[in-house]
Amino acid sequence: MSEPKVWAKKSTFIFAAAGSAIGLGNLWKFPYMVGENGGGAFVLVYLLCVLLIGIPLMMSESIVGKYSHGNAIDAISQTAKRSNASQHWRGIAIFSMVTIFIILSFYSVIAGWAFDYTYAFATGEIGTGVDEVGKYFGELLGDSKRLIIWHSVFMLLTAVIIARGAQEGIEKALGVMMPVLFVLLFIVVAYSAFATGKFGDTLTYMFNPDFSKITPVVVIKAMGQAFFSLSLGMCVIMTYAAYMRKDVSITESSLYVSGLDTVMALLAGLAIFPIVFANGLDSGSGPGLLFVTLSTAFSQLGTIGVILGVAFFFLVIIAALSSSISMVEPFVKWCEEHNINRIVATFAYCLAVWAFGLITVYSFNDWSVVEFFGTEAKPFLGMGKSPFDALDFLTSSVFLPLGGLLTALYVGWAMNKMISREQLFTLNGALFGLWLFIMRFVAPIMIGIIFVFYALGEETMNTFIAYVTNLFK
Ligand code: PHE
């Protein structure tokens, strides 16, 4: 067998995985999910999910990938063989690939908005003030042709990078761009804090949870968001870990990646909510939140605003690209390792994703309310009102945690413990025991309970909680 391909530098995995994790999930999705799902209540559940399920699961995916150095399907197959476990566990990777296919299809459409905004700031088309910016955004969503053009540009760029195997170039660039994005976000937070006088309100809103807002739907969405943002439950981390050098510590890398990802999401929230409160905007206005709020602030700052606007949305595109390439790599790596031409595989896959993405394009105009998903006020099972809402909910909140649940069961129970012990070489006995306990019990039970409560609905949950509280009285 030839030597496995590994990254030259120790830190490359961290950059690649952080590049995958940090993206639209942090900058675009996290703030509007917080706004739609009860502010601090959502943030609290989100943070708990990152800590109790996210980080340990990132370690598990890394173990399987790093052990086998192959694509995710064969990585599971190899570890299963060594553990005398069933080959059916490979189903996890296949299921994940279907999920990322759907996610990438809408991810690309949203990333397209960032292209449009970079252009609009550069040309001054965006207008000034909240009304004009809001109108600009409305027009963009209504114009399916424009959405399709930007969606195509984004998918094409993703395909070219992957086909040329140019990820390493991107990762090097990320070493520069990520810190810039971080600093820029920091500047925006500082601006929002000082210019609006609403920073105190924002802190209360995000970090002082109103426990009555914790409903099954909020919990399942917060959990889904944690998976989405950390790129978990999709074999993406597994795929990247295949290139990890032997001497890299899985625990340390997982902590870094999750930490950076969480900080970025919180910063995005801190940048956006002061502007929401100062302009009397609706925090629950959904996917447009980032695009309307920050642009409103930038639009009022003259030339500096133009520079900030162009720079910010350009960095959003880069962050999105470093995530989108991680969504294509799992499938393409499999093809490559099964003698299918990398370029053909990439373009065929991206073309299929592009076509599927049209569903999302039309979700913002012609199909924005589809009766099948319930009424606007009371969406069917919390899925939302358009095909995009439903696809997002099903993939992020249901499929990803399900993929995570299966991974936890596989790594915790079916896979030979020696494999994980070997890979988590930096952990002492007690910490390894804790990690294993989380994989075997905490993660599966938590995800299981969240699913069950969600399926049973809010009333049943409340009755149950009242019953349990009574027992302890
Ligand atoms: N984690 C990425 C983000 O936050 C999105 C992503 C999802 C990346 C799935 C890879 C796989 O934007």
- What distance in angstroms lies between residue 164's CA and the mean position of ligand 1's atoms? 21
218 in contact with ligand 1, CB cutoff 6 A? no
Most confident of 167-171, 178-182, 370-374: 178-182
158 lines ligand 1 (CB under 6 A): no
HSE, CB side, 13 Å, CA atoms: give it for residue 181. Answer: 28
Q: What is the pLDDT of residues 98-156, one digit of tens each?
A: 999 999 999 999 999 999 999 999 998 888 888 899 999 999 999 999 999 999 999 99
Query: What HEC string does 46-57 produce?
Result: HHHHHHHHHHHH
Provide the pLDDT for residue 384. Answer: 63
Is residue 264 within 8 Å of residue 29, measured between CB atoms? no
For residue 382, what pLDDT is reported? 55
Predicted pLDDT at 1: 38
Over 90: is that where the pLDDT of 164 sits? no
Is any ligand 1 atom within 6 A of the Cβ of residue 265? no
Task: Give residue 2's pLDDT.
Answer: 45
The DSSP annotation for 225-240 comes to HHHHHTT-SSSHHHHH
13-52 confidence digits (pLDDT tens):
888 899 999 999 999 999 999 999 999 999 999 999 999 9
CB 100 less than 6 A from any atom of ligand 1: yes
Residue 258 in contact with ligand 1 by CB distance below 6 A:
no
Residue nearest to atom 9 of ligand 1 (CA): 231
406 vs 416: CA distance, rounded Å? 16
- What is the pLDDT of the chain when averaged over all its residues? 90
Burial (Cβ within 10 Å: 0-12, 13-18, ≥19) of residue 84: exposed
Query: Which residue segments constitute the domains of the chain, with CATH numbers given?
Result: 12-69+103-367 (1.10.4160.10)
Ligand 1 near 23 CB (within 6 A): yes
List the structure tokens of 110.
């949203």
Beta carbon of 102 within 6 Å of any ligand 1 atom: no
346-382 burial, b at 16+ Cβ within 10 Å, e below that, comes to bbbbbeebbebbebbbbbbeeebebeebbeeeebeeb
Q: Report d(CA 98, CA 430) in Å as an integer.
A: 37
Could you tell me the distance, in angstroms and rounded to a whole number, from the CA of residue 236 to the centre of ligand 1?
9
What are the tens digits of pLDDT across the range 232-275? 999 899 999 998 888 899 999 999 999 999 999 999 999 999 99
- CA–centroid distance, residue 303 to ligand 1 (Å): 33
The confidence score (pLDDT) of residue 454 equals: 83
Indicate which residue's Cα is closest to atom 11 of ligand 1: 231
Q: What pLDDT score was predicted for residue 350?
A: 97
Task: Give me the residues paired with residue 374 across strands.
Answer: 379
3 has pLDDT over 80: no
Neighbours of 461 (CB within 10 A): 18
* 385 CA distance to ligand 1 middle (Å): 23
- Taking the CA of residue 28 as reference, the ligand 1 atom at the shortest distance is 12
- pLDDT higher than 90, residue 215: no
Instruction: Give the model's pLDDT for residue 290.
Output: 92
Consecutive H or E run containing 174: helix 167-196
Answer whether 326 contacts ligand 1 (Cβ < 6 A).
yes
pLDDT tens sequence across 222-236: 999 999 999 999 989
* C-alpha of residue 26 to centroid of ligand 1, in Å: 9
Ligand 1 lined by 228 (C-beta under 6 Å): yes
324 touches ligand 1 (CB under 6 Å): no
Ligand 1 pocket check for 225: Cβ under 6 Å: no
Query: Could you report the per-residue pLDDT of 179-190, keeping only the tens digit for each?
Result: 888 898 999 899
Ligand 1 atom closest to the Cα of residue 21 is 1
Q: What pTM was estimated for this model as a whole?
A: 0.92
Q: Is the CB of 238 under 6 A from ligand 1?
A: no
**Cα 109 to averaged position of ligand 1 atoms, centre (Å):** 14
Residue 383 — pLDDT band, cuts 50, 70, 90?
Answer: low
Mean pLDDT of 458-467: 78
Any ligand 1 atom below 6 A from CB of 196: no
What is the distance between the alpha carbons of residues 134 and 294, in angstroms, rounded to a whole number?
11
pLDDT band at 4 (very low <50, low <70, confident <90, very high): low
**First CA to last CA across the chain, in angstroms?**
64
Whole-number pLDDT of residue 236? 93
Q: For residues 279 and 291, what is the distance between their CA atoms, to the nearest angstrom?
A: 14
